[in-house]
Amino acid sequence: MGYARKRTVPGGSQPPPSAPASAPASAPRQQSAAKPKGGSSGKSIWSMQIGKPKQKTAMKRVEVLLFVSELADLLQAGMTLGQALQALANQGEEGSGQRYVCQDLCDRIVRGESFSDACAHHPKTFPPLFSNMLRAGEASGAMIEVLRRLGEHYERDDNMRGKIKGALTYPVIVLCIGVVAVIGALVWIIPQFQKVFDSMGASLPLPTRILIGLSDAVINYGWAMALGVVAVAWWLRRWSRTQSGRRRIDGWKLSVPLVRGIVASGAYSSLAYTLKTLLSNGVNVLQALKICEETCGNAVIGDALATARRRVTDGTTISGPLAASGVFPRMMTDMLAVGEQAGDMAASLENVGRRYQKDMDRNIASFTNALEPILIVLIASVVGFVAIAILTAVFKVSSSIG
């Protein structure tokens, strides 16, 4: 398909009709000689690539979202699953994760594997939620509908992640600029004032001595401070990956003011939408709770879901164990209990997800509104301390001279 194949003619080595019999064997050399000098083949030097691109073996979340929506469109247009996957593989660039994953999925489909089992071989690209929903879609014959729901789920999840990242971008940038400015002042500006004060020989006030001491510490021991910060960050990173560390950090996220509202509302909304998507596609309750436990992104909420899953095995409803855990708000568990009594759990979960998504939007707005004055006060305090330390020293030196 798209490749030139060598053909043999029975009874001899006669060339195919499309090639002249008198074509010399050196034709490729003549064609290569007709190329522009320098071997650039007409390409700009900026478009040339040095070396072979590194092969990626996974797709990003944005690529998975596009993959799901395009695959649903191709299947609805009448393509078979193998043809659709091959078309998506051909769209990917050389060395991209899309080409690698789609081609591997296509090869596995050709060998007789199911689509859900083929996706399970790529856990970095497709989480358990993806494979289990596909398995339910294969059993019910509603593959296109399942892909559409997966696309909606990924798009909704990406929107929530984008809002949270957007709320944290501004304070992080301001803090980084503030830290760089303070370090620059301590390293380059304060030593110049220190030389002037030392040349005059006057005693300096306490704020000025503190500022000069900080400047000397940064200049003389800045490398040790930097190593200490890197060591602490490395230790925190390793500790956060342990089971106890992750539980402690996730519990802190659910208890700290300002941060708590954003993290908790986002987690509750994502959990409700994920559980609703799984149950609507025929995944049983126990398997759905296990998938939510693995994909919720919070160890404290995951432990509560694990407890609820064990209680459901004994015949208890979902809302009861979740309410007993103390992790979930009363409003959420009451809405789930109403859905269980009415026999329409999917609609109840949809309402829960919508409600806490609105709560997350309000909490993000409150977070940004509260953070701006806090940052202004913090920066003003630092700048004010530096100004007072320098001005008081200048006034004292001037008065001693006069």
Residue 65's alpha-carbon distances to 105, 148, 208, 262, in angstroms, are 16, 10, 57, 24
**Cα distances (Å, whole numbers) of residue 193 to 122, 169, 200, 305, 313:** 61, 35, 11, 61, 73
Higher-confidence position of 27 and 52: 52
Report the 10 Å Cβ neighbour count for 399: 9
Give the pLDDT of residue 55: 78
Nearest by Cα to 318 from 339, 297, 303: 339
Assigned CATH class of 158-402:
mainly alpha
62-100 pLDDT, tens digit each: 899 899 999 999 999 999 999 999 999 998 888 888 899
Q: What does the pLDDT read at residue 51?
A: 52
Phi, psi of 189 (to 5 degrees): -90, -50
- Please check the confidence at residue 6 and state whether its pLDDT lies above 50: no
If we measure between CA atoms, which residue out of 69, 136, 163, 188 comes closest to residue 357? Answer: 163
pLDDT for residue 372 is more than 90: no
- Using the predicted structure, report yes or no on whether residue 229 has a pLDDT greater than 90: yes
**Residue 294 banded pLDDT, cuts 50, 70, 90:** confident
Q: What is the C-alpha separation between 216 and 338, in angstroms, rounded?
A: 65
pLDDT at residue 12, rounded to an integer: 41
| Per-residue pLDDT reduced to its tens digit, 148-160 | 988 888 888 888 8
CATH 1.20.81.30 residue ranges of the chain are 158-402
* Most confidently predicted of 28-32, 198-202, 234-238, 323-327: 234-238
Give me the pLDDT at residue 315, please.
62
Is pLDDT at 33 greater than 80 in this prediction?
no
pLDDT score for 25: 39
Q: Are 268 and 352 in contact (CB under 8 A)?
A: yes
SS (H, E, C) 308-342: HHHHHHCCCCCHHHHHHHCCCCHHHHHHHHHHHHH
Looking at residues 257-272, what average pLDDT do you find? 88
Which of the pair, 50 or 37, is modelled with greater confidence?
50
The larger pLDDT score, comparing residue 374 to residue 230, is at 230
Residue 111 contacts residue 67 (beta carbons within 8 Å): no
Interval 35-42 mean pLDDT: 44
The token pair that represents 294 in the structure block? 């693995």
Does 197 have pLDDT greater than 90? Answer: no
Q: How confident is the model at residue 53 (pLDDT cuts 50, 70, 90)?
A: low
- What phi, psi does 344 have (nearest 5°)? -130, 70
